[in-house]
Amino acid sequence: MNKIYLIVLAVWLGLVGVPAASAHEFSGYVSGEMQLFPENPNHAGQRDQSASLAFQAEYYHEFKNGSSFTFVPFYRLDSADAKRTHFDIRELTYLCCMRISNCGSGCARSSGG
């Protein structure tokens, strides 16, 4: 897991050094969740309470030539469920704009309708 953090840090530091003449956008959110149960647990290992924190950041950069880069990391910390505590990359894309056509590379979730 430490290798993932180092890769994310390296990408982030590499982007911060991009010239300021281009567009940079930062956004994100932090959310909290808490569950309280009025009755005692019925089974061993169950808890009568739990708390969770989620952090998601988004970095978008548009280059002078119209190409763009997007990076969206996500981290959830859960007090009761170790399987729910995790880090993932929700989006990591690069879109290259050329005169004739556009090409892209990366991973992202998308939905169409």
> Whole-prediction pTM value?
0.66
| Cβ-defined contacts of 45-49 (< 8 Å, 24+) | 47/80, 49/80
Q: Where are the domains of the chain?
A: 2-33+50-108
15 has pLDDT over 60: no
Which tens digits make up the pLDDT trace of 28-85? Answer: 999 999 988 888 878 777 777 889 999 999 999 988 888 889 999 999 999 888 888 9
Rounded CA-CA distance 75/90 in Å is 10
In this prediction, residue 9 carries a pLDDT of: 57
Contact 96, 104 (CB under 8 A): yes
In this prediction, residue 29 carries a pLDDT of: 92
Higher local confidence (pLDDT), 5 or 97: 97
First-last CA distance in the chain: 35
Dihedral of CA 87/23/12/95: which sign? positive
Q: Which residue has the tokens 């911060």?
A: 16
Q: Which residue has the tokens 């708390």?
A: 51
